[in-house]
Every structure is written in structure tokens, then in C-alpha cells.
């Protein structure tokens, strides 16, 4: 459990740093600067990708923080779907996982 807590804490720090770096690329593109039409399009695309990266990182950060909360409450590693333990191998790969592999598979197969 201590190994997984350490992994979650390291993931939280890494994601927070990534968000800080990615936010730099989300600044508005200045329209009054003469940089050319294609360069402006590239800048807008990079801004859009940076914003998407920030949103994805914030989502993962939320999951990691929630997992750390479950560690504190003593419910970490229990599947939120069926209540059974989540396999240690799965938690090592996705320490923020909330579902066992069977429940995750069932969720992904839903139409």
C-alpha cells in the first residue's frame, strides 16, 4: 500500500507540474501581431492542443487526488462497481483506477 501511495503522490506532483507548463501554451494568440496567416493558424492549433492537454491533466489529477483520499479512508483498492479488491497488477499500472478489470471491461462494452 505504501508503494502505491508513493506512486500516487509522485503522479500528483508530475501532473501538477505538467499543468503549469501546459498553461503557458494556452495564452490567447495576439491578433494584432503580424505573423502571417499560416503561422497564426499554427499558433491557434497549438493553443487548442495545450488547452486539451490541460483539461486531460486536470481530469487525471482529480482521479489521483480522489485515490489518495481513498488511501486515507482505507478504501483504496476496492472496486467501486462490485466492491471486490482491484488486482495489484492493475493498481501498479493505473494507481488511480476505481474499477476492477471486469467492471471496467463491462463499462467499456456498454453501448
Q: What is the pLDDT of residues 41-78, one digit of tens each?
A: 777 788 888 889 889 999 999 999 999 999 999 999 99
Element (H, E) at 10: helix 2-24
What mean pLDDT do residues 10-19 have?
Answer: 94
Q: Within 13 Å and on the Cβ side, how many CA atoms surround 87?
A: 8
| Nearest C-alpha neighbor of 65 from the set 55, 54, 76 | 76
53 within 8 A of 22, measured Cβ to Cβ: yes
Domain ranges of the chain: 1-76, 77-111
Helix axes 2-24, 37-73, angle to 10 degrees: 160
59 DSSP β-pair partners = none
Amino acid at each position: 500500500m505504501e508503494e502505491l501511495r508513493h506512486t500516487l503522490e509522485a503522479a500528483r506532483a508530475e501532473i501538477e507540474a505538467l499543468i503549469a507548463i501546459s498553461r503557458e501554451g494556452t495564452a490567447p494568440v495576439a491578433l494584432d501581431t503580424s505573423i502571417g496567416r499560416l503561422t497564426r493558424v499554427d499558433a491557434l492549433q497549438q493553443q487548442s492542443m495545450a488547452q486539451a492537454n490541460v483539461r486531460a491533466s486536470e481530469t487525471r489529477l482529480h482521479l489521483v487526488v480522489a485515490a489518495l483520499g481513498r488511501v486515507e479512508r482505507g478504501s483504496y483498492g476496492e472496486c467501486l462497481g462490485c466492491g471486490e479488491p482491484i488486482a495489484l497488477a492493475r493498481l501498479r499500472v493505473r494507481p488511480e483506477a476505481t474499477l476492477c478489470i471486469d467492471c471496467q471491461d463491462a463499462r467499456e462494452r456498454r453501448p
